[in-house]
Amino acid sequence: MRSLRHALLPLATTALLALAGAGPALAGPADSGSGPAAVPAGAATTASPTARLSNGTPVDSTAAAALSRYWTPERMSKAIPLNVKDAPQAVRGKAGPTGRPGSTSPARARSDAKRTLVNESAAVGKVYFTNPSNGLNYACSASALNSASKQMLITAGHCVHGGSGGTWMTNWVYVPRYRSGARPFGTYAAKQFRTFNSWISSSDLGRDVAMVTTWPLNGNKIVNVTGGHGLSWNYSRNQAMTVMGYPGNHDNGELQWACQGTTRGVSDGRIELQCDFGPGSSGGPWLREFNDANGLGNVNGAMSTISSGGWNRSSYFDDAVKGMFDAQGSVT
């Protein structure tokens, strides 16, 4: 049984919601992920442009402050939960362990802010941005990732770039522990994106991962404020995971939800868990070793798609994802 937990309960309530898994996935047979896998040349290369406003202006410290005002409650409420259709044939290469498993360390927030609700992570939040291809505003999920900069997030590639035929998203902001319009830690603007070239060029779902450096807010860096998760890579595809995010099919994406269970491999190399998290949960973290006491864990996946039967999928985290972390983690 896989449990689905409503992570933001009313203050007077501490009950957990649970849903049972409903039958086998329509994907191929489980893949244990043992042994290295061939990845096409160039699949691990990444691009890292400066974040911009919708008028093309680079986001500097002044523009970052303006973005907090741009994202009014009305604009946020009308943002469309973003979704990418699952398509196994869109995976360009079967990623797999390419070395020994490893993890970086999570970091607690420097402050001793009290957590008011059970099973809610301050290091998970909601993302808002504009797609220049159609001028519409969208919503995704993301989480803070501990690194040397203390300014980084991890999300899905499709939450920063439209993929083949698309472009980089604009007006991009992150609201940690968003809750029905409330922004308890403020609004953090993107400063620089990084995602895989194979996502940019061909919407490769095997590389639907992105990392984002944010501007400090009032001099405070995001990981120092909310804490930040660690990163895991090259682990077995069968892992106990806690998946978190803002699915639009639960509470209209206004509250943070969590799903727990053991992942399994997909024949194309990705991993999956039957959470039934719909549009808007894209980019939410898949966490190993989640600590419910502090809301932190090690990110070992990022929400990518949903297939028939409510099975959510993530890219497999290998050395290439660790390489992205190494390339972006010290950018300030």
182-204 mean pLDDT = 95
Residue at 279 is within a domain: yes
Residue at 98 is within a domain: no
Residue at 20 is within a domain: no
pLDDT in tens, 98-113: 677 767 666 665 544 4
3-state helix, strand, coil in the chain (%, to 5): 15, 35, 50
Residue at 77 is within a domain: yes
Residue at 38 is within a domain: no
Among residues 140, 132, 123, the alpha carbon closest in space to that of 171 is found at 132
127-143 mean pLDDT = 97
Asked if the model's pLDDT at residue 7 lies above 70, the reply is no
Among residues 71, 68, 324, 55, the alpha carbon closest in space to that of 215 is found at 68
Length of the chain counted residue by residue? 332
> Looking at the whole model, is its pTM more than 0.85?
no
User: Phi and psi at residue 262, in whole multiples of 5°?
Assistant: -105, 125
Under 8 Å CB-to-CB from 187, ≥6 apart: which residues? Answer: 67, 68, 71, 173, 174, 175, 217
| Residue 225 lies in domain | 3-8+44-83+122-328
pLDDT in tens, 217-247: 999 999 999 999 999 999 999 999 999 999 9
Residue at 37 is within a domain: no
Confidence band of 96 (pLDDT split at 50, 70, 90): low
Q: Output the six-digit token pair for 81.
A: 């939960």
Q: How far apart are CA 204 and CA 93, in angstroms?
A: 8
Residue at 174 is within a domain: yes
Q: What is the predicted pLDDT for the residue at 25?
A: 27
pLDDT in tens, 11-62: 233 332 232 232 222 222 233 333 334 444 444 678 889 999 999 999 999 9
Q: What is the predicted pLDDT for the residue at 221?
A: 97
73-92 mean pLDDT = 80
Indicate the number of domains in the chain. Answer: 1
Asked if the model's pLDDT at residue 216 lies above 70, the reply is yes
User: Which CATH number do you get for residue 176?
Assistant: 2.40.10.10
The more confidently predicted of residues 82 and 40 is 82
Under 8 Å CB-to-CB from 308, ≥6 apart: which residues? Answer: 25, 26
Evaluate whether 175 touches 248 at the Cβ level (below 8 Å): no
Residue at 88 is within a domain: no
Q: What is the predicted pLDDT for the residue at 8?
A: 33
171-193 mean pLDDT = 97
Q: Do the strands 3-5 and 257-262 form a parallel or antiparallel pair, or are they unpaired? A: antiparallel
